Amino acid sequence: QSALTQPASVSGSPGQSITISCTGTNNDMGTYNLVSWYQHYPGKAPKRVIYEGNKRPSGISNRFSGSKSGNTASLTISGLQVEDEADYYCCSYVSSGTWVFGGGTKLTVL
């Protein structure tokens, strides 16, 4: 149950786009796109922004998008806004009621 690998930090300027990668193994990423992404402000409840790799929950801006290639999933945030500054975590459904999170990425909007 090793954590998925994410970059510790990424940064961008308002209006720019950034991409956060999330790399696992065949065992935890698998064939299908079972990755969800969470936005987490310190001291607050995490919020799901992407599920099943590329689907947005109701109310989530279309500036958030997801993709997957092989054992690497990616979250892209376009048109960066100051309020996007937060920690972002990927999470993969492994099997039968078990999940694994990534180590988290701190997004700084300069």
Partner 1 sequence: EVQLLESGGGLVQTGGSLRLSCAASGFTFTNYAMTWVRQAPGKGLEWVSTLTNIDGSPHYADSVKGRFTISSDSSKNTLFLHMSNLRTEDTAVYYCAKTAMVYARGFDYWGQGTRVTVSS
Question: Binding residues for partner 1, per CB under 8 A?
Answer: 1, 3, 32, 34, 36, 38, 40, 44-48, 51-52, 55, 57, 87, 89, 91, 93, 96-104
Residue 23 CB, nearest approach to partner 1 (Å): 15
Between 16 and 48, CB nearer to partner 1: 48
Strands (E), the chain: 9-12, 18-23, 35-40, 47-50, 64-69, 72-77, 86-95, 98-101, 105-109
* Nearer residue to partner 1 within complex by CB, 15 or 52: 52
Shortest Cβ 65–partner 1 spacing (Å): 16
- d(CA 106, CA 76) in angstroms, rounded, equals 14
| C-alpha separations of 74 from 36, 40, 53, 100 in Å | 10, 17, 8, 16
Shortest distance, CB of residue 15 to partner 1, whole angstroms? Answer: 28
